[in-house]
Structures are given as structure tokens and as C-alpha cells.
């Protein structure tokens, strides 16, 4: 059984606006996207996004220049 506080990370497909895709987080059934002002809640589906590990999410943050501590700030 998984913990309610567990976060699953996803990455969207690359696009012209986001060449490395966007980072999404799923926590307690709520989907969030990492935006310039922090995590923003979005719809319930992540069509086309693929699940990634925490390490891959950290790599994405480093590539995009985001602080790694943001991964620990996904809202409940």
C-alpha cells in the first residue's frame, strides 16, 4: 500500500514552448504542474505525459534551472 503523501512525477512531451516538456506531480489524486510561481493545480488527466522517477524529476529540474527543493513542495 502506498502512502497518501507519496508523489508521482510525470513529464509531458516536448513542445516548441517547452523543449524538455513540463514537470507534473500527482499527489493525493490532485495533479499539479510546475510553473514559475510554484506548483499550480491542473485538470485530472495528464494525456501524453509519462511517469518518471524522482531522480529523473531531479535531472529535469537541474536541466531547466529549477531548485530541487520544489520537488518537496507539491501541495496536498
pLDDT in tens, 44-66: 777 889 999 999 999 999 999 99
pLDDT the model gives residue 2? 47
Sheet with 38-41: strands ordered across: 38-41, 30-35, 23-27, 7-11, 50-52
The residues spanned by each domain of the chain are: 7-67
Split at pLDDT 50, 70, 90, the class of 43 is: confident
Q: What is the mean pLDDT of residues 11-31?
A: 92
The mean pLDDT value for 28-54 works out to 90
CA distances (Å), origin 52, targets 37, 40: 22, 19
pTM of structure: 0.86
Amino acid at each position: 500500500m502506498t502512502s497518501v503523501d507519496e508523489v508521482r512525477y510525470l513529464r509531458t512531451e516536448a513542445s516548441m514552448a517547452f523543449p524538455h516538456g513540463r514537470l507534473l506531480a500527482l499527489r493525493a489524486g490532485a495533479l499539479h504542474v510546475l510553473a514559475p510561481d510554484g506548483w499550480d493545480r491542473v485538470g485530472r488527466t495528464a494525456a501524453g505525459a509519462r511517469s518518471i522517477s524522482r531522480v529523473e524529476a531531479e535531472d529535469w529540474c537541474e536541466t531547466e534551472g529549477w531548485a530541487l527543493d520544489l520537488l518537496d513542495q507539491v501541495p496536498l
